[in-house]
Structure 1
Amino acid sequence: MNKNTFDNAVSSFLDEVTDQISYKPLRPSIRQELESHLQDHVEEYQSQGFSPEDAVRQAISSMGDPVLIGAELNEVHRIQKAPWLSFITALLLLTGFGLSAFIQWTPEQAANGFLYYIPGGILLIMTVFKGYPLLIRYRKILTVSICLLYLALAVITTSRVIIYWCPPLTYFATLLLIPVITILLYCSRKSKKKFMAAAVGSAGSWLLFMYSSRLFLIDTAIIIFLLSAIGTLCFMIHRRILPGKKKYLYSGALSLLVLLGSPLFLTASGRENIKAFLFPQSAVYRTLDDTYNGILVQELLSKTPLTHGLELSGPEMMDYGTGAWYFASRDPKQIGIDVTQQDFQEKVDALWDQGYHPRYIHYQEDQVTLWDILPQHYHNNYLIAVCIFLFGWLPGLALLGVIGLFFTFLFSCITRIHGHLASALAFSCGQCLLWQGIFYLLGNFGYQYAYFPNMPLVSEGRLSSLCNMLLLGLIFSAYRYDCVTEEPLNYGPVTSD
């Protein structure tokens, strides 16, 4: 058999096999691997005395039915789908969009609103279909870019050059550092020098910024980053993605958590955050405090029935709206002032000069509504609590149940990912979403840590909402392409491939 005949026979066989592979970008690598196997078989049969023609026929015959081979390979190397997770994700997105449209608008909503659900949904879909393969292909550029973005924002914040977009951008960059560091850990895991250099450099930079800038410590993204990064590190140790003895690795992870978390306990602003979080009543000084909002939410939740919304009389609502229910016996000067009074501005100026900060009241007892007495930013920070106020505890618990199902399905998919990098990346993104949800729910029940995070899918936001769509899309994408995308073995953050 001449070369052309051999090529035609082998090509026909390989075409039959690869035609069964549904993910077309995977066909060339499978074809190349099978062709190599065929060539080995041909050489083996020729060494046994077969003629070239008979060796080719025997080699092809020994491989088996090409359609069956292709079907089996397709079953192993196929794009995975997560229908239940997709369904509950769409349900929560529609729920968040509907609640944002239903809840009474505020000037802030008119400026920002729930329009971010639209680009967020588009970003989610694009990331699901293209995210993980593109991340693998351009991992070096993306890693360096995000690190430089965070460094620039850290310098700006530390130097007190504050602009309007700086806080949300810092939040955005901090959350995206979680998957970036996960990729760095994975790709440097076989080189102790690179691993230690990356770990020491990252830890040193972190501590420098944390101790030099108080602004970093008032952002919930900091503690979400810490918990997510350490949780991911432990996950990689548990799955033996990181080489070494587990007891030493776990001890190192615990020590790293204590070291990186030290600014949260050893700085004044860090201790203030923890005190306000654990004991909100001890940190209430005025009605404009977040801790007061927490106490107010706890009070209103205690009065909400199981099966229907909160019902309060006009005088009761006025007491809650002005803060009189809490400050009448503590500090009457903090009680809200009616803006209809002619001497309003003079009174306010005088009180502010004395250190008092009363709330501005824009309503009367005969026209006060539930929307008037809710905390500021209730439309996105207290969405779960507002749902309970409006419809009762049972519908609110149903919404909590759906959120719980979302995270259950999410981590169920993550734990079924086999690839080391894909599973670590998905777990890091899942941790980031989970801790945001936990801190958001704690804030809705009166225990707020620093600034409010965004509740993934449900609570509206700006860059934080887009960031969560990107993180969720990476999880979907890592699960989708787990069996068809080749993971990198080595990593060089500066040089090109």
Structure 2
Amino acid sequence: MASFDEIQQYCDTVCGQIRWKKAKPLIEKELKDHLYDQCDAYRAAGMSETAAIHSAVQQMGDAVAVGAALDGTHRPKPQWALLGLTGVLLLAGQFCSAVFGGAAEPVGFFMAAAALLGCYFLDFSLLARHTLPLYFAVLLGSCFGLLTGPQVNGTAWLSLGGFGFSMSYFAIVFPLLFAMLIYSLRGHGLAGVLLCGLGYLPLMFILIQISFVSGMLLFTLSALALLCFALARGWFGCNKAAGFALVLVPTAVVLGVGAFILLGHPYFSAQLALLADPYAERNGSGFLLCLVRDLLAHAQMYGTGSASAETAASLAALDHSSPDYLLTLMIYRFGWVALFVVLGVFVLFIGFAGYTLTKQKSMLGSLISVSVLSVLFLQCAFYFATNLGYGLFSAFSLPFLSSGNAALVLNAGLTGLMLSVFRSGACFYDQMPGQTSSPLFSYKNGALIIRIKN
């Protein structure tokens, strides 16, 4: 027993040099695994237990030096740049609410800030331990909302006590849920890919019942991106060509059939005709679209636009439709420079986050990041299309800028979770079912190798 105490004492000394508490359990486990494996090798060579343990510990080298080396590389990586940029966007959203909505929304701002920081400091690895329970909990909660919630303007709402929000915002959360489903089915081959497709269907059914076409499209494109990303990385452990065929062929068929059905539907046929020539229904269903295009046609590079008095008088219609047309109002009142600034900020944010994503090694962290980035990107794409007068479906929110507490809090929380991955993802090692991760310590050709990067 005293001999094994030598291993524990050595591990305690190494871990005592490491300041990041989250990294200590993993390092201690791998250190002990290596020491015990090396002891077994020495025992097999004829050494006594005491001598084998002592030799294994001595081979590792000075505990303080080893611990200091590991401490230098096992540290959280604060995401001050992305956190600061998100904070600036949230503050800009308050400015927009004050200018275009008549008053700031401090409650929504503080709720979003709390969600951002709370998820940033959350241990994202908790999601890996509860993937399927989380999936079914959200699915059952969605069904409960559909059965009990009221309908507002044709859209289902979830009402809990005095708090309620449109269930259309579930489309923002579902991609993260789907990412967790993919993670739980990693390494299961083509059967895992097929089960992911089956897991997509109930969530899509919920969105169909909510009757939110933009949400269906956002979730479908995000789910497709996640599946293709996982297949490209080989995380299902199947033939990639077969996996892509299993995903892309049914997707193409479903999208083709869906497009055919939509084109044959009177409402969507009218929407396409309206998008092509809104002025034919200027005083009817094309009023807002004509107003948007007229305002943009008379926008200046800097300053307020020069639309006719009649068109300018109709601005109240867009104010009333806020937050759906916030960007249009900004362009008309501040000039096209407002579009370039907003677009530049989001390109910078998504580009920087995307670059950081490429450095993630874990499956869990990468899937979370892809799900969040795809949601933010598609929301921006839909919103920009609508505000430039070419949106076929209703817009989502413009993340962090447009008003609406539910969207603001959900986007902030998802962003905080992604930044949590960037902050501490290097300390999370996942593995395919039935496989072991690369050891932190190994011994080869007479040399001790310490893996200090994941």
Do the two structures share a fold, i.e. TM-score over 0.5? yes
Aligned residue type for 1:148: L
* 1:236 and 2:230 correspond: yes
Shift of 1:402: 1.1
Q: Which amino acid aligns with 1:95?
A: A
Find the partner of 1:376 among 314, 320, 325.
320
Kindly name which structure, 1 or 2, has the bigger radius of gyration based on alpha carbons.
Answer: 1
Match of 2:281 among 281, 285, 290: 285
Cα distance 1:488–1:374, how it changes in 2: closer, same or farther (>3 A)? same
User: Is the alpha carbon distance of 1:11 and 1:162 closer, same or farther for their aligned partners in structure 2, counting shifts above 3 Å?
Assistant: closer
Q: 1:273 to 1:114 in 2, by over 3 A?
A: farther
> What does residue 93 of structure 1 align with?
90
Q: 1:125 to 1:259 in 2, by over 3 A?
A: farther
TM-score by length of 2: 0.82
**C-alpha distance in structure 1 between counterparts of 2:139 and 2:28, whole Å:** 39
Greater RCO structure (CA 8 Å; 6+ sep):
1
| Structure-1 separation of matches of 2:265 and 2:17 | 58
CA distance in 2, matches of 1:203, 1:227: 14
Asked if structure 1 preserves the Cα contact closer than 8 Å seen for 2:222 and 2:374, the reply is yes
Alignment equivalent of 1:296, drawn from 273, 291, 311: 291
Alignment partner for residue 172 of structure 1, among 169, 172, 179? 169
1:19 to 16, 23, 33: 16
Q: Is 1:433–2:433 an aligned residue pair?
A: no
Partner amino acid, structure 2, of 1:248: A
Q: 1:146 aligns with which of 131, 138, 159?
A: 138
1:330 counterpart residue number: none
Amino acid in structure 2 at the alignment position of 1:228: S
Secondary structure at the counterpart of residue 234 of structure 2: coil
Identity %: 22
> Residues of 1 paired with 2:64 and 2:273: CA distance?
63
Deviations 1:44-87 (A, max 9, x none): 44555666665444322210232332233345543233332222
Partner of 1:72: 69
Cα distance in 1 for residues equivalent to 2:263 and 2:147: 21
Residue 466 of structure 1 deviates from its aligned partner by 1.8
**Can you give the 5+ residue segments of structure 1 that lack an aligned partner in the other structure?**
323-370, 492-497
Distance in 2 between the 1:188 and 1:248 partners? Answer: 17
- Local SS of the residue matching 1:448: coil
Distance (whole Å) between structure 1 residues aligned to residue 202 and residue 157 of structure 2: 28
Taking only aligned residues, the RMSD between alpha carbons, in angstroms, comes to 3.4
CA distance in 1, matches of 2:86, 2:325: 20
Spell out, residue by residue over 1:339-377, the C-alpha distance to the aligned partner (whole angstroms, 9 max, x if none).
xxxxxxxxxxxxxxxxxxxxxxxxxxxxxxxx5364532
1:149 positional shift: 2.3
Query: 5 Å matches for 1:178-189?
Result: 178-189=175-186
Confirm or deny: 8 A CA contact 2:42 2:52 kept in the other structure: yes
CA shift, 1:434, in A, is 0.6
- Give the distance between the partners of 2:383 and 2:207, measured in 1 at CA: 25
Q: Cα distance 1:267–1:48, how it changes in 2: closer, same or farther (>3 A)? A: closer
Q: Which residue of 2 aligns with 1:479?
A: 422
The alpha-carbon distance between structure 1 residues 471 and 269, as it changes in their structure 2 partners (threshold 3 A), is farther
| TM-aligned CA distance change 1:180 to 1:271, over 3 Å | farther
In the other structure, the counterpart of 1:137 is 129
| 2-structure distance, mates of 1:278, 1:419 | 47
DSSP 3-state at the match of 1:417? coil
Structure 2: how far apart are the matches of 1:60 and 1:193? 45
C-alpha contact (below 8 Å) 2:157/2:167 kept by paired residues: no
Aligned length: 426
The 3 A distance-change label for structure 1 pair 394 and 53 is same
TM-score under structure 1 length normalisation = 0.75
